[in-house]
Chains A and B, each alone.
Chain A
């Protein structure tokens, strides 16, 4: 089956008054129907900007410079705002981190959900109401027929996020972008919401782009993972391959830096020195080189290409973990 999403060499820049931020700098991605791709990275890595590029909802100054974004085979980059309005909701929908700021506090949740339906579909009030109740039921809202008259402030954070998902789903999109969908929620509610997303993906055969900073969420929920750093994808593989044989030194460092609940970590955690680079002036060579334990001269001069070195496993690193000899400079650096 053909891919729901195919991104080819996407570059998204944000023009500021005195500089241009290379927020997304030449990334390629694809997601098949019913598949969850985890896009993981830290703030400023360009992961949210990738999601917003697909929706074409970029902040002021943001624009797609190069590349194509195909949704069900159709490139959305050249589409006008009017044409995009049809695509949003019907083909692709998004849910954000904070459900309180994304919901309209003056409208009942029922009206907010059916509003999307009445824009996209020719339905009467009774049909819209029936569909709204059906969708709220799908996302696990208790007593949906009563709850449609509630205002957002009457709901808990978890229920609000369920409403956001219902709103995203109401027109049956092929791709759901979930941008840090559970970061504002408690862990027990997080697992409930992720269960809802997982169930819907399976039932509706929807493609999901799961954007998160949490490696644990990725491990449990994604079929494949793409790791972003400073506007680039640095490693991509199916989830179990990535966690068993991570190659890029950034991925490796990121996992070593998190305390793990299931392990006795008495030693110091690895801490990645420094800060991510300024994307208004991206460094030459590998963007992680300045913070990497294993950098050599080549890392600062030649940018490593993202190549499929192993079957379905792409990475862009001159000194990948577990492949060949560890560079000599690393010995000194790790002491």
Chain B
């Protein structure tokens, strides 16, 4: 961890010894209504996409969010960049709670938080030239003159390793990796402090992924960016992140460093997730003792009572159905929410 070039400040999130986090998410909840009928649209229930999650990210830190599809990681990311209003809870960015703001109040603050999307084929307008795509955020936020905007576009292309000639071309003329570079350049256009990257390399070929991951790390160092990286791929998240949050069915089940999550998981779900990930080494892969989780993720419309993982958990007992486990400390910066964890919790909160 010592040579990690990613973070300029050590992660102090939970203990909070005087340094303010750049992003502070508290008791965040998002419920989507489930309706019936075309006209009256009676509300018959809710999808509990995100159910009371809390975490913070220090300036310059990379926080990874992992989990299976339907765990609420993407919804969390969209709320952080104000693309989705939360049902309740707070999202404090640089000291201001954007969750309670009106969209008019949020708008000038959007330039500080940007999003990078998964699919570089779907997230760039095919009818726009690259120069227009990159100028658009500047034009919307009324930043600079036309000439200074053009200069900025050239600078952005240079930052992401594309030639100046790319300006006059259309997205279809680029490969997937190059398009993801354009997506990153667009996210950087307004000089944001926080970038939420949702599955930034999942759509890319293996040999191209590392180009984008390395580029993201270099740009983080250059511009002192704070990253939230969302992915189902724990290997990618562990490589990029200082700390990782593991989500399951709308809940944060464990938070810790990459090593905590991989080598010292406390939550049975984390351990199951880790053992399900194939490692490119036949000796390790064929001698795995832990089992991957059985069954499938239950519906988020009627999530299980108590601990939401209990229906798939090999350690579940009756208490798990009755009482929802709170997050407890398992070491410095390491927390998990489990009644019967894989290792003993720390005595008192550090």
Contacts and interface: CB of A to CB of B under 8 A. Distances in A.
Contact of A213 (B3, B205, B236): B205
B4 interface: yes
Contacts of A159: 296
Given A190-B278, A257-B206, A261-B277, 17 more contacts: A187-B68, A187-B273, A192-B294, A216-B280, A217-B278, A219-B279, A219-B285, A220-B279, A254-B206, A254-B207, A255-B280, A257-B209, A258-B210, A260-B280, A262-B262, A266-B4, A272-B208
A186 B235 contact: no
B239 A259 contact: yes
A220 B206 contact: no
A268 B213 CA distance: 9
Interface residues on A, range: 35 or more
B107 to A, nearest CB: 36
B39 interface: no
A258 B206 contact: yes
Interface string B245-279: 00000000000000100100000000011111111
Interface in B185-208: 205-208
B171 interface: no
Q: Determine which residue in A43, A191, A240, A268 has the highest number of CB atoms from chain B within 10 A of its CB, and name it.
A: A191
A189 B235 contact: no
Give 5 closest A-B pairs by Cβ, nearest first.
Answer: A216-B278, A259-B239, A220-B285, A215-B280, A269-B210
Contacts, number: 126
B296 A257 contact: no
Interface string B75-97: 00000000000000000000000
A254 B209 CA distance: 11
Interface of A: 42-43, 156, 158-159, 186-192, 213-220, 239-240, 243, 253-255, 257-262, 264-273, 275, 291
B2 interface: yes
Q: Determine which residue in A218, A253, A260, A261 has the highest number of CB atoms from chain B within 10 A of its CB, and name it.
A: A261
A20 to B, nearest CB: 21
Given A188-B293, A192-B292, A268-B217, A243 B280 contact: yes
Interface string B157-191: 00000000000000000010100000000000000
Contact of B278 (A43, A158, A220, A275): A220
Contacts of A257: 206-207, 209-210
Nearest to A265: B239
Contact of A271 (B69, B211, B275, B292): B211
A243 B281 contact: yes
A218 B280 contact: yes
A188 B71 CA distance: 13
B286 interface: yes
A262 B205 contact: no
Judged by DSSP, the binding face of B is helix
B180 to A, nearest CB: 13
A216 B279 contact: yes
Contact of A189 (B208, B285, B296): B296
Given A216-B278, A219-B282, A271-B211, A261 B293 contact: no
Nearest to A187: B276
B172 to A, nearest CB: 15
Contact of A264 (B1, B214, B274, B294): B1
Interface string B286-300: 100000111011000
Contact of B175 (A158, A240, A273, A275): A275
Contacts of B347: none
A265 B238 CA distance: 9
Nearest to A256: B210
B230 interface: no
Contacts of B278: 190-191, 214, 216-217, 219-220
A44 to B, nearest CB: 8
Contact of A269 (B239, B282, B297): B239
A259 B238 contact: yes
A188 B272 CA distance: 8
Contacts of A269: 210, 213-214, 239
A240 B279 CA distance: 13
B279 A188 contact: no
B296 A261 contact: no
B276 A261 contact: no
B214 A259 contact: no
